[in-house]
Amino acid sequence: MTPSPVWHPFTQHRLEAPMKRIVATEGAYLFDEDGNRFFDAISSWWVITHGHRHPHIMAAIREATGAYDQIIFAEFTHEPAETLAGDLLEFTPTGLQHVFYSDSGSTAVEVAIKMALGTFYNRSVARDRIVVMQHGYHGDTIGTMSAGERGVFNTPFEPLLFGVDRLPFPAPGHEQETLDAFEAICRAGRAAAILIEPLALGAGGMKFYGRAVLCALKEIASHHGCLFIADEVMTGWGRTGSCFACEQAGVTPDILCTSKGLTGGALPLAATLCTAEIFEAHLSCDRRKTFFHSSSFTANAIACSAAVANLQIWRDEPVKKRLGELASLHAKHLRQFENDERFANVRQCGTIAALDLAVPSGGYLAEVGPRLRRLFRERGLLLRPLGNVIYLMPPYCASPFDIATAYGAIDEVASIVLKETAS
């Protein structure tokens, strides 16, 4: 067989076998060319919410292709984008008033950083520092790598990255250290914005913290005139148990970033929402104060149509009930591992569950990671542990049988890997 010319993301091709082709998707499952079925326990990198190929979203896409393809958004608007913007303001925390479209989570956050810095620049206010949280991950563009944790993801690009002020992660019992550090940074007077993943840090290791910390960070930011950016790319659309994580702390961010589940996972689309204050800082007869950001596919009409259909599903179907049921299933199955010496830090945040395999060497490049993936795949399960961190983030259509099967595989595979590690 001729080797594929495709270069896959986050893949060391020297060590990985050739990729199997997926030929169909349906509900919570992927089907490969050999007829194997896989439970998509991580929602295909956290994007699929209601399930693969939800009929209402697929129908909306088909209908949109009868009228639209791409339309230059710097020159015109269109109904799917206008409808979606109104819908997003309905679903997101009260106080956000403007919607800027882009293509991915990384670009949504990149837009947010530029909005924040542009706001103070246009006001001739000397605030140029971005505050972030330790272990954060916001994407793979230069700006979002700068804001993320420094390490294996971005070491080769260090000369290109700009400096940020980094808060310690609010680990249990150390929350006040995080708040005190943020207070000190704000008092220095240079902080333009704080950028954080609310309640749950994803690629940084599925690290969770409490809503009281989120609320306190927002209070400090507001007191010092520092903008608050919520990166809800992963946490949005139900992952933490509410539509958006900020809701649980009663927080309205100045800027909110969303992508992944925005279209139910069907098509790439992102949005960065902001308050009137930020929009008005760029509103001027001076064209130099224009917000200079775009991409060729900004507000793709077909993707916007898929997102409109997704939000209608949230209105018409018992999505919140499904979130609660999924969270309860996680809690039930996680209990069996709470006092299990094979695991550490058994944890849950809404529909996300995680536990660390107790191996001598952890972290993203832990040797057990690829082995875990292969063993899970052999059992019909798509899981991509973050090194030794095993996590589940399934679509909301997952059945009790799917969830029980996944936890059974975790139990079995953990024993196999630990036995291999010990020998």
User: Do residues 289 and 157 both lie within one domain?
Assistant: yes
Mean pLDDT of the chain: 97
Residues 146 and 255 in one domain: yes
Residue closest to 197 by CA, chosen among 246, 243, 244, 231: 231
38 is a domain residue:
no
Same domain, 301 and 325: no
Residue bearing tokens 């299933």: 329
| Higher-pLDDT residue of 241, 423 | 241
Q: Which helix (H) or strand (E) holds 159?
A: none
pLDDT at 304: 98
Residue 257: inside a domain: yes
Do 209 and 85 share a structural domain? yes
At 423, the pLDDT band (50, 70, 90 cuts) reads confident
Same domain, 233 and 342: no
Residues 312 and 323 in one domain: no
**How many whole angstroms separate alpha carbon 152 and alpha carbon 133?**
17
Mean pLDDT over 89-101 rounds to 98
Q: How many domains does the chain have?
A: 2
Same domain, 117 and 253: yes
Contact 242, 234 (CB under 8 A): no
* DSSP character at residue 244: S
Of 280, 298, 316, which closes a domain?
316
Pair 371, 232 in one domain: no
Helix boundaries (H) for 123-231: 142-147, 175-187, 211-223
348: in domain: yes
pLDDT of residue 361: 84
Residue 17 domain-assigned (yes or no): no
Of 266, 301, 316, which residue is a domain's last?
316
Tokens of 298: 């900004």
Indicate which CATH number applies to the domain containing 112: 3.40.640.10
Evaluate the CA torsion angle 172, 177, 181, 186 in order and state its sign: positive
Is 9 inside any structural domain? no
Range of the domain at 398: 319-422
- Residue 18, domain member (yes or no): no
Give residue-wise pLDDT tens across range 393-402.
999 999 999 9
Closest by Cα among 279, 269, 230 to 253? 230
Start-to-end CA distance of the chain, whole Å, equals 36
Residue 302 sits in the same domain as residue 360:
no
Q: Let me know if residue 49 belongs to a domain.
A: no
Contact 109, 143 (CB under 8 A): yes
Residues 6 or more apart whose Cβ sits within 8 Å of residue 126:
120, 190
Contacts of 17 (CB under 8 A, 6+ apart): none
pLDDT of residue 7: 97
* pLDDT band at residue 404 using 50, 70 and 90 as cut-offs: very high
Give the three-state DSSP class for 308: helix
Domain for residue 258, yes or no? yes
Residue ending a domain, choose from 285, 316, 347? 316
Look at residue 367 in the predicted model and tell me its pLDDT: 87
| pLDDT tens digits, 176-194 | 999 999 999 999 999 999 9
**Residues of the chain above pLDDT 70, percent:** 100
Contacts of 114 (CB under 8 A, 6+ apart): 143, 291, 293
- 299 with 328, same domain: the answer is no
The answer on 197 and 108 residing in a single domain is yes
* pLDDT digits 0-9 by tens, 242-282: 999 999 999 999 999 999 999 999 999 999 999 999 999 99
Judge if 306 and 379 occupy the same domain: no
Report the CATH number that the domain containing residue 383 is assigned in CATH.
3.90.1150.10
What pLDDT is recorded for position 362?
A: 82
